[in-house]
Amino acid sequence: MTARYSLADVAALIGEPTRAAMLLGLLDGRSLTAGELARLADLSAPATSLHLGKLARGGLVVVHKAGRHRHYRLASRDVAHALEALGVISTAACAAASAVRPRSPAHAALRAARTCYDHLAGVLAIELADGFERARILEIGGDDHYRVTRAGDQWFGDALAIDVAALSAERRPLARRCLDWTERRPHLAGALGAAILDCFLARRWVERGDSRALRITRQGTAAIAKLVPGARSVRR
């Protein structure tokens, strides 16, 4: 990788379709084995190993051993944010074609609710952020972050058992505005966004599947509708 053109080198790593498929497969923040990534990218084991080696040397993934298996994950939140940003650009570039082409069930599921590394994304996440703003639980604090209000501190503790003060003490941003690649509007990321996803999973309001898409459960449908009245993501 050249210092002068390192951006181009990283873009080339991401731009190869099978490597892009593997990176997107890791975008939910979990670790996957080389075999699982091979199935995602429809590659042989040797070809997968070659591509993963390039991604690791380029600083996009890291690997750790667990017994006989090697597990891969995205190297950092910055990599996840970059992939999401590229998704926003690609969605905008394809907007005209998408308007006339019917969405696949898989794309519709991703758009409804999914993980964005360690937090919620999709229509569900947009509706939550909008609802928090309307209720003055969150305020826009700048171009790239939200501010939790005094009422929000109390609400997150009462409604979701989330200790905002403890999250504020972490080194990462508390409430970041992350541009959603399907909706092209910001959703809630940062330590608070991750805590909300953990809460929803622990309460079984959403469930993981084989992809980044999340399924909103029947219990979650009722609970989330109370959090965000009229949310279209939980209508049946």
Boundaries of every domain in the chain:
6-75, 102-234
In the chain, helix, strand, coil percent, each to 5? 55, 20, 30
Give the integer Cα–Cα distance in Å for 176 and 96. 29
Domain 6-75 in this protein, CATH class: mainly alpha
Going residue by residue through the chain (236 aa), what tens digit of pLDDT does each one get? 555 557 888 888 988 988 988 898 888 777 888 888 898 888 898 999 999 999 999 999 999 887 777 899 888 888 888 887 787 676 654 544 444 455 677 778 888 899 888 899 999 999 999 999 999 999 998 778 999 999 999 999 999 999 999 999 988 899 999 888 788 888 999 999 999 999 999 999 999 877 788 999 999 999 999 888 766 666 54
Give the integer Cα–Cα distance in Å for 94 and 150. 41
88: Cβ–Cβ under 8 A, 6 or more apart, which residues? 179, 180, 181, 184
